[in-house]
Chains A and B, each alone.
Chain A
Amino acid sequence: MQQFFENIANSFSTVEGIVFSVIDIIVTMLLVYAVLIFLKKNNATRLMKYLVVVIVLSIVIGSDIVPMPVATHICSNILVILLIIGLIVFAPEIKRVMWKLASPKTAENSYTTKYDCSDEELREAIDEIVRATQYMSKKDVGALIVIAPDNVPEQNLESGTRINANLSCSLIECVFNPKAPLHDGAVYIRGNKILAAGCFLPLTQQTDLDKELGTRHRAAIGITEQSNYLAIIVSEETGIVSVARNGELARYYDSQMLKDVLEQIYGLKAVGKPKKHLLKRK
């Protein structure tokens, strides 16, 4: 125990020691804060209390402050085990953070992909999507359309039915016809092609969303949390057209707003300052 206090006193014995110790303390606090905020954002608030207690106990017992050789041996490995468990349990959330860090900051750079069609064909595709969306909105037909600027991983498409057809308003309306077998699930669109329909999307784990939002909206938020896709949702109950991007949902899109955002994601339009019509969380 005396050695314990001596070690701490030695850290502050010189000016250099004091400076580096203060920096060390600040960095430790920032790391702990980052972990706490990560747990808070991923609805693991309850876990925090137990995690802090386990870590502190592990450090106390893992050092030789108290003479418990077996518990010391176990606790000296517990932090590594906790780290591995954390990586497994929070794998999707860590993936999302990594993707956000790796993504370019400006939307202009996010969407410079090449499609196998001309700009004119892309503009026609945008018009078709907007027309289909407006028609389904008027008829209160539920729809979930995912616009992918990059190639879509095979496992995303395998959950649905491959179509690989040229995009048209009629085809989109057919897919989302309530009597059609593929109307449940999402349609993946890239460029002027419908890649697949009836695809299942991961649901968001956010708990503070508006209770009016159903599974369709949650799926749209969920897929955009994990990727740079854009998701268009038409509500079956209200006919409201919403757009999800980067895990955030914006509602009450009219045809012009929808056209603007599609032109941005297809790289046909310069990115301006985003309009502030995001749905705020409660």
Chain B
Amino acid sequence: MKDVNNEEKKQSKFGRFLYAIFVNNLPYKIAAIVCGAVIWLLMAGM
């Protein structure tokens, strides 16, 4: 169990932004891109 009194690692706002876009939930983002593209292609072609 983590000690709740530990300080959080300091990260710049830009660093956190980049992390949120490119690292956080990356597999789900890739899945969303692939599935979104497939769904769009299927719906657009109908």
Contacts and interface: CB of A to CB of B under 8 A. Distances in A.
A280 interface: yes
B14 interface: no
B4 A63 contact: no
A5 B39 contact: no
A154 interface: no
Interface string B32-46: 110111111111111
For chain A, what secondary structure do more than half of its interface residues adopt (helix, strand, loop), or is it mixed?
Answer: helix
Given A277-B4, A279-B2, A63 B45 contact: yes
A56 B46 contact: no
Contacts of B40: 24-25, 28-29
A59 B42 contact: yes
A74 interface: no
A32 B25 contact: no
Contacts of A163: none
Nearest to A3: B45
Contact of A21 (B2, B28, B33, B44): B44
A251 B1 CA distance: 11
Interface size classification for chain B: 20 to 34
A8 B2 CA distance: 53
B44 to A, nearest CB: 5
Interface string A65-79: 100000000000000
For chain B, what secondary structure do more than half of its interface residues adopt (helix, strand, loop), or is it mixed?
Answer: helix
Given A29-B36, A60-B42, A276 B28 contact: no
Contacts of B37: 25, 28-29
A234 to B, nearest CB: 17
Given A28-B36, A279-B4, A33 B28 contact: yes
26 contacts: A4-B46, A7-B44, A7-B46, A8-B44, A8-B45, A28-B36, A28-B40, A29-B33, A29-B37, A29-B40, A32-B36, A33-B28, A33-B29, A36-B31, A37-B28, A40-B25, A52-B31, A56-B42, A59-B42, A59-B43, A63-B45, A210-B1, A252-B4, A252-B5, A278-B4, A279-B4
Given A252-B5, A279-B4, 15 more contacts: A4-B46, A5-B45, A7-B45, A7-B46, A8-B41, A28-B39, A30-B32, A32-B36, A33-B36, A40-B28, A48-B31, A52-B31, A56-B35, A65-B45, A276-B7
The list of the 8 closest CB pairs from A to B, nearest first, reads A29-B36, A33-B32, A4-B45, A63-B46, A32-B36, A59-B42, A28-B36, A32-B32
Interface of B: 1-2, 4-5, 7-8, 25, 28-29, 31-33, 35-46
Interface of A: 4-5, 7-8, 11, 21, 24-25, 28-33, 36-37, 40, 48, 52, 55-56, 59-60, 63-65, 210, 212, 250-252, 276-280
